[in-house]
Amino acid sequence: MNVQGIKNLVDKSEILKAEIVLKTLLSELFLDLKIDKVQIQKSQLSLNSVNGFVKVQNKKELFFKFHTEENEILEEYYRAELLEKYGFPIIKPLYVSKIPGKQILIYEKVETKRCFDVLNEKKKILNEKKFLEEQERMDEKALNVALKTLKIVSAEEYDKSKLLQLFYRRLKLKDGIPRVDSFYKNKEVVLPNNKKINFEVLKKYKWVINGRKYESSLKDLIVSATEILDPFRFKKVPVCVGHGDDHYGNIFCFEKNNGYKFKYFDPAFAEDIQHVLLTQVKATFHNIFAHPFWLYNPELLEKDLKIKFDLDDKNKVIKINHNWDLQENDFRMQLFKLKVEKFWKPLISELKKRDLLEDDWLVFIKRALFCCPFLVLNLINLDKEKGAVSYTPKTSLLALSKAVEMGSFSPSSCHSCENRNLDALEEYFLNF
């Protein structure tokens, strides 16, 4: 069995069986490891991966992780040495399997928390000023490496980018069923009044969210994202070196000299041909806009979430009002402002100077942001036995509305951005 088969067992909560199969696979891949036990951790962050611990005969405990994509045979990846070459702080694995379908990393067990966990416990232990200082260094490093390694490649070369597996390949595959179809096509969406509507019907509705009209339906966003993220739409593609999946679940947070030191791990998609406008999209969304709670921990919202909706079947409009607000989370907003000021604005400005900025650059970023929640989790899944996260009708509708906000423009609030005014970029993102 390959790693996708093991991930399928984990998703079905057949943990014991998955551990037995994984122990056999690891013993075959790493002959010098005398494995006594494998323990899989089930985490809300393990959306497309599996991790846990391996105990070997000398009683030493190691940490393992692997990443999977359904219907995709992952080619050689895990290029930690590339990130190290350009000065990214990274924990290097002790053992690596790069066999397609059996790619697994094994690390020394790290006795520290991931940034994700540190932020979840921030009221107890977080020095916000020091955390922001380290994040600023990471944003500046990402920018410097992106500009230093920026080059132009053909569409044929860019089509080999591993990072496309987290975006375009989830919308369209040469063979097999893409994730967008396996999650949503012809599936029933349960609304907060417990009535059901087929996704093929709902996807045609335009959205009005807390009084703000959005110009794109879910169908519009899916079609547009498929078109604009297609690697063959480009004549010349600006690419760079990057991690590509550097959300806080893939960054360890070490306490050092009364501050923090971040270190990457799981460089599953690290490469030198990431589209320069995609390389920080996952970090931008997952570290900022996915919080607080609605994506990873929707059960924590259920008690206090107030949401009302109205379906206008005649005009194909869904109106919803809710009490969720990112701007109430001041620390996430500070992280966002850092990302805009230290990465996005200088990057876009430099691309413009070099005549490498497409006219639709902002649409490209928006559609990529849409893919992050919409295709990382099945936002209409209500079954606790399926997938890493399950929703209720209320939290599912909220999640769909957040995906729309990520991907769609709101004409009443984005006029300045349509003029490609760099100064409007921060204002534009703040519309969320």
Binning pLDDT at 50, 70 and 90, where does residue 72 land? low
Between the alpha carbon of residue 374 and those of residues 179, 228, 369, 401, the distances in Å are 10, 16, 9, 10
In the prediction, which pLDDT does 135 show?
97
In the prediction, which pLDDT does 287 show?
93
Q: Which range is least confidently modeled, 237-246, 329-338, 371-380?
A: 329-338
Q: Please say if the pLDDT value at position 71 is more than 70.
A: no
What H or E segment, with its residue span, contains residue 352? helix 345-353
CA distance 432 to 421: 18
What sign does the CA torsion over 139, 143, 144, 149 have? positive
Domain boundaries, the chain: 3-108, 113-429
Q: Please say if the pLDDT value at position 296 is more than 90.
A: no
Query: Residue 89, by phi and psi: left (phi above 0), alpha (psi -120 to 50) or beta?
Result: beta
Average pLDDT of the chain to the nearest whole number: 88
C-beta pairs of 2-6 under 8 Å, 24+ apart in sequence? 2/101, 2/102, 3/50, 3/66, 3/68, 3/101, 3/102, 3/103, 3/104, 4/68, 4/69, 4/70, 4/101, 6/50
Contact 171, 368 (CB under 8 A): no
Between the alpha carbon of residue 251 and those of residues 40, 45, 68, 263, the distances in Å are 19, 12, 19, 5
CB burial class (10 A; 0-12, 13-18, 19+) of residue 47?
middle
What H or E segment, with its residue span, contains residue 262? strand 259-264
Q: Would you state the torsion angle of the CA atoms of residues 76, 351, 372, 264, taken in this order, to the nearest 10 degrees?
A: 50
Q: Which residues on adjacent β-strands are paired with residue 301?
A: none
Binning pLDDT at 50, 70 and 90, where does residue 413 land? low
CA distance 48 to 62: 21
Rg (CA), the chain: 21
- Please give the average per-residue pLDDT across 46-62, as a whole number: 84
pTM: 0.89
Q: Which CATH class is domain 3-108?
A: alpha beta
Tokens for 97, please give them.
């399997």
* Of 49, 166, 30, 165, residue with least CA distance to 98: 30
pLDDT digits over 169-225, tens only? 999 998 889 999 999 999 999 999 999 999 999 999 999 999 999 999 999 999 999
In the prediction, which pLDDT does 293 show?
81
Report the share of the chain in percent with pLDDT over 70: 89
Counting Cα atoms < 13 Å in the Cβ hemisphere of 115 gives 26
The residue type found at 269 is F
Q: Which residues on adjacent β-strands are paired with residue 153?
A: 237
Query: Other CB atoms closer than 10 Å to residue 421's CB: what's the count?
Result: 12
Tokens for 354, please give them.
């070099």
pLDDT digits over 135-145, tens only? 999 999 999 99
CA distance 161 to 291: 28
CA distance 154 to 87: 27
Q: Which range is least confidently modeled, 130-134, 236-240, 257-261?
A: 257-261
Q: Please say if the pLDDT value at position 418 is more than 70.
A: no
In the prediction, which pLDDT does 55 show?
93
In the prediction, which pLDDT does 203 show?
98
Look at strands 206-209 and 317-322 and give their pairing: parallel
- 344 or 72: which leads in pLDDT: 344
90 secondary structure, DSSP code: B
Query: Other CB atoms closer than 10 Å to residue 308's CB: what's the count?
Result: 11
- Please give the average per-residue pLDDT across 304-322, as a whole number: 96
Q: Which range is least confidently modeled, 77-81, 123-127, 292-296, 314-318?
A: 123-127
